[in-house]
Structure 1
Amino acid sequence: MTSTAVFTQGEGAAGVADEDTEVLIVGAGPTGLALAVDLTRRGVRCLVAERQETLFPGSRGKGLQPRTLEILDDLGVLPRIHAAGSLYPPMQLWEDGRPGKTWHLAPRGEATEQVPYANGWLIPQARTQEILFARLRELGGDVEFGVAVEELTQDASGVRARLSDSRTVRAAYAVAADGGRSTVRRSLGIPMTGETVDPRPLLVADVELALGAALDREHWHVWEGEGGDGISMCPLPAPGNAFQVLVRYGDENAVPDASADGVVKLVDQRTHLTAEDVVRVQWSSEFQAKAALADRFREGRVFLAGDAAHVHSPVGGQGLNTSVQDAYNLGWKLAAVLREGAPESLLDTYEEERRPIAAGMLGLSTRTHRATVAKGGTMTVQRGREFRQLDLGYQDSPLSVETRTGLAPEALRAGDRAPDGNPGGTRLFDLFRGPHWTLLALGTDCPLPRLDPDTVTTHRAAAYEAYGTGVFLIRPDGYLAWAGETAEGVEAYLTSVTGG
């Protein structure tokens, strides 16, 4: 999107457009692609406009957290994600040209019936995007590359966009997924409140090493430099001998050289490797660690998602994950309004639910970054369960209705993530998978309402430890929406939320 983009409200949006769609998505990063996949599988027409000629080529957001893996399972791409990635290797510190101590940045978890994906997954961002793009095309969708949105107008019934190829598009809604420097957000006049987490610059690059280079692929290698000038090299699960290089500068006035020659020089100077060991620099970028949160996630019929709504320090791997989960939250709600007659007010819950989550993840990333700096920059600060995003939920959301009383403090409640399991021999994530709600009756013979099977999948089984006994309504995005000892009230709840 160009810097001359214009946003106006209340006039011009209803003019004749060259084509119509239901949702205009600006940006084909992980956020835009995940949203497009979710909407397309729900039968919602969307146009994805990406100003670049190709998908992003680098490894930048290289870690997928367990909750994001569950989402990708639902979207039908997890086998490909698993095939293209790996568990994170242990860290290894180099001293005087020799490998030294090793440690795990995050303790390894054991998969359980309730948490089938217990560990973060290492996969280059570019590969994640390629997989989501392939899934989108399988579903009949596509991305329009080399197309920027140059002007947006909106009125009470829709959004009109002028594209850089001179076309105009009319949509019911638009979603800005165009990154931390989002021109859509700026055009909307939505401020971001934030801070510089660390004034010292960083540089990240993907390099291909010679096969004979003296650096194994079983560790994430770290070299501590003098005065805070550090460097790390993480092996990337890709063909060849690819590594992500992360360079830390001790001087906040340093000027990183992100050219290919500059990256090669850094590897030569700060590690035991030589310039000849670097076969190719595939991608590189300089940046500064910042944290920022948009003051609001919606302006009329335009929504902010992903980095357009929140910008994270890279420490902790929360940015891409929080972004994909924005898309997953927004997708089913847009589809419910556009396809099922749900009230427009359902869309208000997107900001109500996602903005507090984003704020919490920003705080976590910022604290972890500063704790890492305080320890000299070596990545020794452990990433615990809070980084996996499995415990995040929406208990305070107006969509979360808990009718049971006397629950134990640790009990599953409305608003929590719905655990996996196998009650009655049927895997719950298999039941949840797809664009529908799920009604579980566990350990009870109480009568259940007759619900549209195209909208709600119903399943009875014995009481199950992770849930207990009762009736549980699971949202399309895998969170517990409504819970009761009987089904009384669940049909009214569905009607109020979906309009059906």
Structure 2
Amino acid sequence: MANMKSTSERRTPVLIVGGGPVGISLAMELAWWNVESVLVNERPTTSLHPKGSTLNSRTMEHMRRMGLAPAIRKTGLPLDHPTDSIYVTRLAEFELGRLPMPTLREKISNPGPWGETLLTPEPIHRSNQFYFEAVMHAHAEAFEETDMRYAWRLSSFEDHGDYVSAQIEDVRTGRRETMHCDFLVGCDGGNSIVRRQLGISYGGRSSSGDRFYDGTMLSIYIRAPNILEVINMPVAWHYWTINPKGRVDFITLDGEGEYVLLAEVPPGVPIGEIDVSAIVQNAIGADTEFEVISVEEWLAGLALVVDNYQKGRVFLAGDAAHLFTPSGGFGFNTGIDDVSNLGWKLAAVLQDWAPIRLLDSYEVERKPIGIRNTAASGDYANKIGSLEFSDFVDENSERGVLARESLKSTLLTFKEEFASLGIVLGARYNTSPVISSDGSQPPPDERATYIPSACPGGRAPHYWINEHLSLYDQLGPWFTLLCLGPNPPDIKTFELAASKLNVPLRTVSIKDEAIYDLYEASLCLIRPDQHIAWRGNKLPEEPALIIRKVIGYDVVPN
């Protein structure tokens, strides 16, 4: 009989460790650019317990690029389910404040340069990770270039300088393989084995452990089929319960009776001694049938970023590179933006039209975004956790009415967490060595407000062609040169320079005066991740110098 633990060998361009949304996204990104990868994930399936509940607009733009946005929008809340976020004492008691938001149907039924699609073709979508992750996994598996190995784990790896060897193991049979890869990417979460073996540490704000959203929390997955019968206000998506017996973040999952509750844990009480049903009952505030499906413990209040995103041929992305508290919904969304940046660079190097030092721009570009986004999330969490309220805010009495009125005025300031379009769409790589600056000043980096700008380094401003055709759908999979306005210059020398350097380039001509006014230039070079690499009103004297810069020839190796 063969030894089930015998070791075989295999080669792959990229080994991805971790099969959450970030790892799956990287596998899809690489396959999109015809690069093979092997993904290993210790769990045998995608997530079975609820996690993050929001795919932001930037993530949905990436999903659109890979043809996945329509399938993801079929998960999560139904088309007409309210998406309001509200503050209540309990679901069956008093409403304290409401942030109205449009339903999915209202957001996507008539896309164009108006409403929720004014600045992006893909508005925010409310769906929990354990729904959309399964859809992403199925989509990734459909690519010939992907080998998705769930119930496999990474045991160890070694960077040999010109390749990486990794030991992986089937957790069910014990069978081992030695994987030889050009690059290894750790997308394996906060306890990343890749990060720990590299000896890379987190820096930033740790949990204080002394208040809501800043310490040990429980994530409670329930089914409550008749809960709508006891909710004492218009239905919402997100309920924040505030009362003296405990605060809970109560989130609708499917609109059909499934919810996840994020609840504070009393200090010093062992998890095994906590009455989970009592937490659920207190948050609802009335008798109704519910079933606790699963419970997980987690730590809130973190705003941590690793010292290094890369060592040699090994990279970190997602929670392996930065840890968030879920306030703002930036966690896995920031990770998906990480791999949209890293993916095309890996592919360009592996396809031999960019130098390996292009990869050193990954940390230069993404670490500042990790610091920026974790800081915003941490500030939101601190504001939520520091909220003060009266011990009789839930009383049906005159003093209870006064307490609720006082609290309402405070809660009116709690809007930025749900209106952070500046964080979502405003990430910029101004100081990157693979961005060709034109000397213009970028707009201010404001958390709540996104200001469209074609200043090199930022996301290309979206534009609706003839009001219904998305600019992003016209971009090529690699670099795209936009020729804008009625009289753009001849671009033959630019195309010839790209061809000589073997850099894949698509050209797109749009005659509208409005897009010329938006981009403030006749020519604009868009990267594969939709960030602007260069712009100008005339061709550079030596186009090859610009092209060489944006594919990494000016990067100083780490």
- Please indicate the TM-score interval, normalised by the length of the shorter structure: 0.7 to 0.9
Matching of residue 347 in structure 1 with residue 351 in structure 2: no
| SS of equivalent residue, structure 1 residue 148 | strand
Q: 1:269 to 1:397 in 2, by over 3 A?
A: same
Among 232, 241, 254, the residue aligned to 2:249: 232
Larger radius of gyration between Structure 1 and Structure 2: 2
Q: Is the 8 A contact 1:222 1:231 kept in 2?
A: yes
Which residue does the alignment assign to 1:201? Answer: 216
**Code of the aligned partner of 1:241:** G
Q: Structure 2 stretches of 5 or more lacking a match? A: 1-6, 108-114, 170-174, 210-214, 390-406, 445-450, 554-558
Among 14, 18, 25, the residue aligned to 1:23: 14
Which residue does the alignment assign to 2:385? Answer: 373
Q: Which whole-Å CA distance do the structure 2 matches of 1:447 and 1:96 have between them?
A: 63
Which residue does the alignment assign to 1:242? Answer: 258
User: Within 5 Å, which residues of 2 pair with 1:99-110?
Assistant: 99-104=94-99, 110=115
| SS of equivalent residue, structure 1 residue 277 | coil
Question: How much has 1:40 moved relative to structure 2?
Answer: 1.1
Among 461, 465, 474, the residue aligned to 2:510: 461
Q: Is the 8 A contact 1:94 1:221 kept in 2?
A: no
Among 133, 151, 155, the residue aligned to 2:137: 133
Q: Is the 8 A contact 2:84 2:101 kept in 1?
A: no
Matching of residue 427 in structure 1 with residue 456 in structure 2: no
Which residue does the alignment assign to 1:111? Answer: 116
Aligned length: 477
Question: How much has 1:424 moved relative to structure 2?
Answer: 6.6
Deviating more after overlay: 198-207 vs 280-289:
280-289
| SS of equivalent residue, structure 1 residue 172 | strand
**Code of the aligned partner of 2:456:** A
Q: 1:291 to 1:359 in 2, by over 3 A?
A: same
Among 142, 146, 156, the residue aligned to 2:161: 156
**Code of the aligned partner of 1:381:** F
Deviations 1:195-216 (A, max 9, x none): 3234132111221112365247
Q: 1:30 to 1:184 in 2, by over 3 A?
A: same
Q: Is the 8 A contact 2:357 2:552 kept in 1?
A: no
**Code of the aligned partner of 2:384:** T
* TM-score (norm: length of structure 1): 0.87
Q: Is the 8 A contact 1:332 1:435 kept in 2?
A: no
Which residue does the alignment assign to 2:280? Answer: 267
Question: How much has 1:217 moved relative to structure 2?
Answer: 4.8
| SS of equivalent residue, structure 2 residue 141 | helix
* TM-score (norm: length of structure 2): 0.79
Q: 1:175 to 1:344 in 2, by over 3 A?
A: same
Matching of residue 93 in structure 1 with residue 88 in structure 2: yes
Which residue does the alignment assign to 2:372? Answer: 360
Q: 1:347 to 1:421 in 2, by over 3 A?
A: same
Deviations 1:451-486 (A, max 9, x none): 559821101222313213321000000111111111
Q: Is the 8 A contact 1:148 1:163 kept in 2?
A: yes
| SS of equivalent residue, structure 1 residue 18 | strand
| SS of equivalent residue, structure 2 residue 176 | coil
User: Within 5 Å, which residues of 2 pair with 1:56-455?
Assistant: 56-86=47-77, 88-94=83-89, 97-104=92-99, 110-118=115-123, 120-140=124-144, 141-164=146-169, 165-199=175-209, 200-211=215-226, 214-215=230-231, 217-226=235-244, 229-237=246-254, 240-249=256-265, 251-257=266-272, 262-274=275-287, 277-376=289-388, 381-382=414-415, 383=417, 384-386=419-421, 388-403=423-438, 411-423=453-465, 427-432=470-475, 435-443=477-485, 444-448=487-491, 449-450=494-495, 451-452=498-499, 455=504
**Code of the aligned partner of 1:494:** I
| SS of equivalent residue, structure 1 residue 315 | coil
Q: Is the 8 A contact 2:91 2:284 kept in 1?
A: no
Q: Which whole-Å CA distance do the structure 1 matches of 2:116 and 2:291 have between them?
A: 38
| SS of equivalent residue, structure 1 residue 469 | coil
Which residue does the alignment assign to 1:4? Answer: none
